[in-house]
Amino acid sequence: MKEVIEHLQTITFTMGDSVLELSYLIAAIFFVFGLKMLSHPESARKGNILAASGMLLAIVTTILFHETNGEPIKNIGLIIIAIAIGTILGWLIAKKVKMTAMPQLVSFFNGMGGAAAALIAIIEFPRMAPELIETQGMLNGQAISILLGLAIGGVSFSGSMVAFGKLAEKIGDPKLKFMRIINLAFLIGLLAFIVIILAQGHTQPREIIWMAYVLLGVSLLYGITFVLPIGGADMPVVISLLNAFTGVTAAMTGFLYHNQAMLIGGILVGSAGMILTLLMCKAMNRSLLNVILGAFGGGGAAAAHHEAGSVREITVSDAAILLSYSQKVVIVPGYGLAVAQAQHICYEMEKMLEEKGVDVRYAIHPVAGRMPGHMNVLLAEADVSYEKLIESDQINDDLPNVDVVVVIGANDVVNPAAMDDPSSPIYGMPVVKVWEAKNVIVMKRGMGKGYAAIENFLFFNPKTRMLFGHAKQSIQKLIEEIKSL
């Protein structure tokens, strides 16, 4: 007891330390409340600003009050310049990016986070305290956090870049069965190499720095081979999973630097990303292991044994009459609506139909738009009421009472093959059961397949009428016709 008291008496805690720790606590509270506010479109903007304010507070107080061995932070000028460059670039990119490219932007930013964590780890590896190695060897908490940050950060960076390429449709989905074996070999090798480094005993990190670089190289390769075979339809899950990876690396960095704000922020990002990943898997009726193995979404001729049937078209005037004299209308938005930038004109059509006494709602599938929540953000941008955005599993029971369902650019999320074709790669995936409504109008440019690259037999359903053309132009014509009725 006496030794503990003497040790506590040697600990100094300055006013700067107090301010720094308090600022980290406040930043963490801002993160939590900001994340909570992101769950609703009406408060999402404020939540984003609140969380960003927490990060700004943590950065400023760290620069002002953080000390290492009694020495303040050096090169503050370079730090401020780096922050300014990053802020300007991030602002310009975010302002110019189209809403349709938001999934790609998320992947890119997420990859940058993984890259930052990997770079920090590779820099800190040879700088581990010599006395710590002498007393505990390489098997210590600092080494474990560095190696995990290095490995997971490398996987997150390269994997996110591949996901970016896939979402931008610059990288295809190679059908190589042996990729699963390669992935498994890389994963086992990655874990084994971490164990080998930790088993180096009292060897100084500077003497085995080459091992850290090899680990980084293997991590980058594994990130590529991990994401490459995963089909395009699984990209929403992959984005969430890679986001969770980046959160873990941030937490490892926070542990390394004893930075509570970074630690808590990383835990929040990692846990939220993992929860979202599992929710996406549930929404697609997929196991996480199945997604990781890359067994779905890259194409295939589902339901090839069925006869396609005939397609029935509808004119703009007939569609306007059908919508105007309906009691209930449900709109199912998809990636095609985002590409056409038709959310604002769609909202205009909604208001016009409501003036005629029509009840208009939106059926939102969790993975519509190639990213979780993409459709919610898109429609909120057009001032569509959040209360009108109904999750697919909630609106499905009411669809038999709906007079008209208007599908705008959605494909895989309204495919009946998910319900009635065991041979389809999307069989078992929850979808919006639009075919149960009294009438279905599908707006598409042509008969092209969706992101999963499989045939959609909804188009040949007797209740379905196709309205071909550019979504924005078609809706504009519908509005003009509705006005004239």
Model pLDDT for residues 253-302, shown as the tens digit of each residue: 888 887 888 888 889 889 888 888 887 777 666 677 766 665 444 444 44
Whether 305 has a pLDDT exceeding 80, the answer reads no
Q: Which one is catalytic: 173, 412, 420, 421?
A: 412
Whether 306 has a pLDDT exceeding 90, the answer reads no
Which tokens is 27 given?
Answer: 């930043």
Q: What is the mean pLDDT of residues 465-479?
A: 90
Rounded to whole angstroms, what are the CA distances from 410 to 131, 332, 414, 456? 60, 7, 7, 11
DSSP state of 99: G
Which tokens is 93 given?
Answer: 């990119």
Q: What is the mean pLDDT of residues 104-126?
A: 90
Architecture label for domain 316-484? 3-Layer(aba) Sandwich (3.40)
Spatial separation of the C-alpha atoms in residues 267 and 251, rounded to whole Å? 6
Angle, in degrees to the nearest 10, between helices 471-484 and 316-324: 60
Q: How many Cβ atoms from other residues are within 10 Å of residue 374's Cβ? A: 24
Write the pLDDT tens digit of every residue in 390-409. 888 899 999 999 999 999 98
Per residue in 388-423, is it b (16+ CB within 10 Å) or e — as a string? bbbebeebbeebeebbbbbbbbbbbbbbbbbeebee
Number of helices (H), then strands (E), in the chain: 19, 8
Write the pLDDT tens digit of every residue in 342-363. 888 999 999 999 999 999 999 9
> In sequence order, what are the beta bridge partners of 405?
330, 440
Q: Is 180 helix (H, G, I), strand (E, B) or coil?
A: helix
Contacts of 421 (CB under 8 A, 6+ apart): 302, 303, 306, 427
R_g over Cα of the chain: 26
**What's the predicted TM-score (pTM) here?**
0.77
DSSP state of 173: -
Spatial separation of the C-alpha atoms in residues 45 and 30, rounded to whole Å? 14
DSSP state of 65: H
* 234 belongs to the catalytic site: no
Q: How many Cβ atoms from other residues are within 10 Å of residue 91's Cβ? A: 10
Please state the domain extents for the chain: 12-96, 103-298, 316-484
Whether 315 has a pLDDT exceeding 80, the answer reads yes
Write the pLDDT tens digit of every residue in 193-242. 999 999 988 888 888 899 999 999 999 999 998 888 876 667 778 888 88
Q: What is the mean pLDDT of residues 422-441?
A: 85
Instruction: Tell which residue, 477, 474, 444, 476, has the closest CA to residue 458.
Output: 444
Spatial separation of the C-alpha atoms in residues 366 and 166, rounded to whole Å? 20
**What is the residue-wise DSSP string for 4-54?**
HHHHHHH----HHHHHHHHHHHHHHHHHHHHHHHTTSHHHHHHHHHHHHHH
